[in-house]
Chains A and B, each alone.
Chain A
Amino acid sequence: MSLRKLRRLGLEPELVDRLERHKKLSSCQDILVKVHLELQHLTNLNHSDVQKIVTATSRACAPTPTTALQMKQAGLSSGSAPFFSTSLPGLDQALHGGIPAGSVTEIAGPAGCGKTQFCIMLSVLATLPCEMGGLGGAVVYIDTESAFSAERLVEVAQDRCPHHFSNDDAFYKLTSQVYVHKTPTCSDLWNRLQSLEEELIEKRVRLVVLDSVASVVRKEFDNSLRGNLAQRVKLLAKEAALLKYLAESLNIPIIVTNQITTRFKASWEGPHVLSGDIDAGNGAGASAAVDGGYVTAALGNTWSHSVNTRLIVQYLDDKYREVMVAKSPIAPFSSFVYTIQSSGIVLQDDERIWKSSERVATDPGLIPIKVRTMLGQGGGLVVP
Chain B
Amino acid sequence: MSRHVGSYPLPPYLKTKLLAGGFSTVEDLEDLKPVELSKELKISPEEALEILRVVQGVQNDASSPSSSDEAVKTALDLLQEERHQGCIITFCSALDELLGGGVPLTKITEFCGAPGVGKTQMGMQLAIDVQIPCVFGGLGGEAVYVDTEGSFMVHRLEDMAKAAVEHCRHIATVENNREQLEAMSDFTVEHILSRIHFYRVHDWVELVALINILPEFLQQHPKIRLVVMDSIAFPFRHDFEDLSLRTRLLNGLAQNCIRLADSHKAAVVLVNQMTTKMGHSGDGQAHLVPALGESWGHASTIRVLLFWEAGYRYARLYKSPTREEATVPYQVTMAGIRDVCIPNSTQDVTSDMSQEEGTSHGDHSQRKRPRVS
Contact = CB atoms under 8 A, between A and B. Distances in A.
Interface of A: 1-2, 28-29, 32-33, 35, 54-55, 57-72, 75, 82, 96-97, 100, 102-104, 233-234, 237-238, 241, 244-245, 247-248, 265, 269-276, 300-302, 304-306, 308, 310, 326-327, 329-330, 332, 360-366
A289 B62 CA distance: 79
A266 to B, nearest CB: 12
Interface string B138-171: 0000001100011111111111000000000000
Given A32-B208, A360-B310, 17 more contacts: A1-B205, A28-B209, A32-B205, A33-B249, A54-B212, A65-B144, A68-B145, A68-B193, A68-B198, A97-B155, A103-B151, A247-B150, A300-B276, A304-B115, A306-B234, A332-B334, A364-B116
B210 A58 contact: yes
Contacts of A55: 212-213
A234 B197 contact: no
17 contacts: A1-B203, A2-B206, A33-B249, A63-B199, A67-B196, A68-B192, A68-B193, A241-B203, A244-B150, A248-B200, A271-B305, A272-B287, A301-B274, A301-B276, A306-B234, A329-B153, A330-B159
B245 interface: yes
A362 B120 CA distance: 16
Contacts of B285: 265, 272, 274-275
A103 B150 contact: yes
Contacts of A28: 205, 209
Interface in B281-314: 281, 285-288, 305, 307-311
Interface residues of B, number: 69
A305 B288 contact: no
Interface string B259-283: 0000000000000011110100100
Contact of A330 (B155, B210, B287): B155
A237 B203 CA distance: 12
A86 B308 CA distance: 29
A378 to B, nearest CB: 32
Given A68-B193, A327-B116, A61 B209 contact: yes
A305 B13 CA distance: 76
Given A29-B205, A305-B115, A310-B116, A330 B194 contact: no
Given A61-B209, A247-B150, A271 B202 contact: no
A63 B194 contact: no
Nearest to A67: B194
Closest 7 A-B residue pairs measured CB to CB?
Answer: A237-B238, A2-B205, A61-B209, A58-B212, A327-B116, A69-B193, A364-B116
Contacts of A271: 114, 288, 305, 307, 309, 316
Contacts of B205: 1-2, 28-29, 32-33, 61
A331 to B, nearest CB: 9
Residue from B121, B151, B194, B196 with most neighbouring chain A CB atoms (10 Å): B151
A274 B192 CA distance: 42
A32 B150 contact: no
Contact of A65 (B121, B208, B217, B237): B217
A55 B156 CA distance: 35
B273 A1 contact: no
Contact of A96 (B121, B155, B308): B155
Contacts of A60: 209
Interface in B182-206: 190, 192-203, 205-206
Contacts, number: 199
B49 interface: no
Contact of B234 (A1, A63, A305): A305
Interface residues of A: mostly helix, strand, loop or mixed? mixed
Contacts of A302: 237, 273, 275
Interface string B29-48: 00000000000000000000
A107 to B, nearest CB: 15
Interface of B: 114-117, 120-121, 144-145, 149-159, 190, 192-203, 205-206, 208-210, 212-213, 217, 233-234, 237-239, 245, 248-249, 252, 273-276, 278, 281, 285-288, 305, 307-311, 316, 332-334
Contacts of A265: 285
Given A67-B193, A234-B239, A302-B237, A329 B151 contact: yes
Contacts of A305: 115, 149, 233-234, 273-274
A58 B209 contact: yes
Given A270-B307, A273-B287, A59 B238 contact: no
Contacts of B198: 65-68, 71
Nearest to B334: A332
B194 A62 contact: no
B190 A69 contact: yes
B34 to A, nearest CB: 32
Given A265-B285, A329-B153, A362 B213 contact: no
Contacts of A326: 116
Nearest to A3: B205
Contacts of B155: 82, 96-97, 330
Nearest to B197: A65
Contacts of B308: 269-270, 361-363, 366
B209 A71 contact: no
A83 to B, nearest CB: 8
Residue from B117, B200, B308, B332 with most neighbouring chain A CB atoms (10 Å): B308
B309 A269 contact: yes
